[in-house]
Amino acid sequence: MQFGERVKSLAVYLNQYQLLPYERVTEIFQDLLGQSISQGTLLNALKTSYHNLEDTENWIKNRILHSPVVHCDETGIYRNGKRIWLHSASTKEFTYYFLHSRRGKVAIDEAGILPSYRGVAIHDHWEAYNSYLSCSHAFCNCHHLRELTQVSEQEGTSWAKDAGRYTLEPELISFYRHRYQTILTPALQIYSREDTRDKPTRGRKKQSKAKNLLDRFIKYQKETLRFMEDFLVPFDNNLAERDLRMVKVKQKISGCFRSEKGANYFCRTVFLSLQ
Contact between 122 and 145 (Cβ < 8 Å): no
Highest mean pLDDT among 65-69, 246-250, 265-269: 65-69
Which of 52-56, 116-120, 231-235 shows the lowest mean pLDDT across its residues? Answer: 231-235
Cα 113 to its chain centre, rounded Å, is 13
Rounded distance, CA 95 to CA 57, Å? 9
pLDDT 10s digits, 20-45: 888 899 999 999 888 889 999 999 99
| Cα-Cα-Cα-Cα dihedral sign, residues 57, 62, 66, 69 | positive
- Mean pLDDT value across residues 125-133: 92
Contact between 28 and 18 (Cβ < 8 Å): no
Rounded distance, CA 13 to CA 19, Å? 8
Q: Which of 6, 12, 72 lies closest to 48 in space, CA to CA?
A: 12
273 pLDDT more than 60: no
Rounded distance, CA 132 to CA 141, Å? 20
274 pLDDT more than 70: no
pLDDT of residue 263: 84
3-state secondary structure 200-212: CCCCCCCCCHHHH
